[in-house]
Amino acid sequence: MNIAAPLPPTESPAEAPRTGRARNALELQNASVVFGSGDMAVTALAPTNLKLPDGDFLALVGPSGCGKSTILRLVSNLIKPSEGVVLVGGREAAAKQLRIGMAFQNPTMLPWLTIEQNVMMPLKIVPPFKARFRAERKGEFRDRVHQLLAQVGLTDFAGHYPWQLSGGMLQRSNLCRALIHEPDLLLLDEPFGALDQFTREELWQTLQDLYLDRKPTVLLVTHDLREAGFLANRICVMSARPGRIISDETVNIPQPRDIDMIYSPEFVEMTQGLRELIAQVRK
């Protein structure tokens, strides 16, 4: 992977046309975010262009405060762009054209519900599943939950409560909940940041398997360069605030990938290039 030198502020490598996909799951068109006004105004995200085709897996990396999570909030319609447009499934984010799944650093499972009930929760509230929830919660939907739990090695824990599971098991459950309603777009914000290295690497493999099996479009925010390189098809590097995309590169390592791969010369060279570029732009 060749890491490009930082671009001038008016350019973005994400503007280059990409072929081979029918449509973009999400697109930012000169989208910027400014918090506050007047002398108190803070530009969190400079005008940014980004395209993420259906089925792609993109990782956003960069120094703290560069706007990575701001992009996630724009895409999920938690905040509005100050300027520009955010398209999700070809429509503005507020139109909710795509089903979206989310997983964050803290699993936020409801402690009074079992793992099965927690994972099933999106089917209760997300169309079109919610219309069938009462009829299918003990049939098709329950089977769907158990099938997904089996994929992540939690077959025997469906009836347990969150406080009875380890951190790694909770994040497996969290991924299941994010995927249970068959989202078109999966948003991940540091999902493994609170876990030890061994558990984290185990869950990289789990997430890769789920991605290759289901092929949602994935946008991952992470500070872990090895995590980005192991999981993603593309890696975008962002500059320090005001954040902007300065590099958009393809990860030219075939999938599926195994953990031993992260020690290969090719992978080490890629992550070292990312580290050096981030060191330049965080100053």
Residues 175-201 pLDDT 10s? 999 999 999 899 999 999 889 999 999
Please tell me whether residue 67 adopts helix, strand or coil conformation.
coil
3-state secondary structure of 109: coil
Q: Is the pTM of this model over 0.85?
A: yes
Instruction: Give the dihedral sign, CA 276/256/56/167.
Output: negative
Strands of 185-189's sheet in order across? 100-104, 185-189, 217-221, 57-61, 234-238, 245-250
Q: What is the amino acid identity at position 29? A: Q
Task: Name 101's bridge partners.
Answer: 186
Q: Which two tokens stand for residue 93?
A: 């984010």
pLDDT digit string, tens, across residues 29-84: 999 999 988 888 999 999 999 999 999 999 999 998 899 999 999 998 889 999 99
Percent of the chain at pLDDT above 70? 90
CA distances from residue 98 to 48, 93, 124, 182, 255 in whole angstroms, order as listed: 21, 9, 17, 10, 26
Domains of the chain: 53-74+97-281 (3.40.50.300)
Q: Which pLDDT tens digit goes with each residue over 254-269?
A: 999 999 999 999 999 9
Under the banding of pLDDT at 50, 70 and 90, the label for residue 8 is very low
